[in-house]
């Protein structure tokens, strides 16, 4: 109930009268344990939920038109089943949580073809062997991963590691050879 009052007060301070006029909301440092239902804000683009106590994400509470989502510094254990509908997402900060299971996490994000900037460091998943190469391979639109620009050499290396057949075809086309 307190959060609903915070939302109402915040919107009034900004002079916003209609839910459809809300493009960003900041719930950082509000001691939230779960993600509030924000579906009424159909044009919400940027959402700050960082520095809370969130443990689980619900796919039913986030608007599919979000372009920026800040979830760092929480207690999130998994994103499975919660984010795959956010296909417009361009920025996703998930660092300093408790996320395990690199494959499951990346599988959840594969539909995000516009995702350019993501952070996963300080999660158990980011300590798995080959973490950076695997993320770069599975999320080809990523330009900045864990606050570091993805270099062309890293893309080539991840392609070499995870997609040998595709690499052979590219090399054959580049040099005019036919591979059987």
The model's confidence at residue 47, banded by pLDDT at 50, 70 and 90, is: very high
For the chain, give the DSSP string: -HHHHHHHHHHHHTT--SGGG--EEE-TTS--SB----TT-TT--EEE--SS---B--TTSS-TT-SEEE--SS-----TTTSTT-TT--EEE--SS----HHHHHHHHTT-TT--EEE-TTSGGGGSTTHHHHHHHH-TT-SEETTEEPPHHHHHHHHHHH-HHHHHHHHHHHTT----
**Residue ranges per structural domain of the chain:** 20-174
Condensed to tens digits (0 to 9), the pLDDT of residues 160-174 reads: 888 765 555 556 665
pLDDT average, residue stretch 29-50: 92
CATH architecture of 20-174: Alpha-Beta Horseshoe (3.80)
How far, in Å, CA of 102 to CA of 134, rounded?
9
The mean per-residue pLDDT over the stretch 1-28 comes to: 80
The pLDDT, as a whole number, for residue 63 is 82
% of the chain beyond a pLDDT of 70:
89
pLDDT the model gives residue 178: 56
């Amino acid at each position: 109930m307190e959060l609903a009052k915070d939302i109402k007060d915040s919107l009034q301070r900004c002079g916003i009268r209609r839910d459809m006029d809300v493009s960003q909301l900041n719930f950082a440092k509000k001691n939230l344990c779960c993600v509030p239902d924000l579906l009424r804000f159909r044009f919400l683009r940027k959402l700050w939920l960082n520095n809370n106590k969130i443990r689980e994400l619900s796919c039913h509470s986030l608007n599919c038109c979000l372009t920026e989502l800040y979830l760092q510094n929480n207690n999130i254990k998994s994103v499975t089943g919660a984010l795959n509908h956010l296909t417009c997402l361009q920025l996703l900060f998930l660092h300093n949580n408790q996320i395990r299971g690199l494959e499951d996490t990346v599988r959840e994000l594969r539909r995000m073809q516009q995702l350019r900037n993501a952070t996963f460091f300080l999660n158990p998943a980011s300590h798995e062997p080959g973490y950076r190469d695997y993320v770069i391979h599975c999320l080809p639109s990523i330009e900045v991963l864990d606050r570091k620009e993805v270099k062309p050499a890293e893309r080539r290396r991840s392609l070499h590691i995870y997609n040998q057949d595709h690499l052979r075809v590219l090399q054959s086309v580049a040099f005019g050879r036919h591979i059987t």
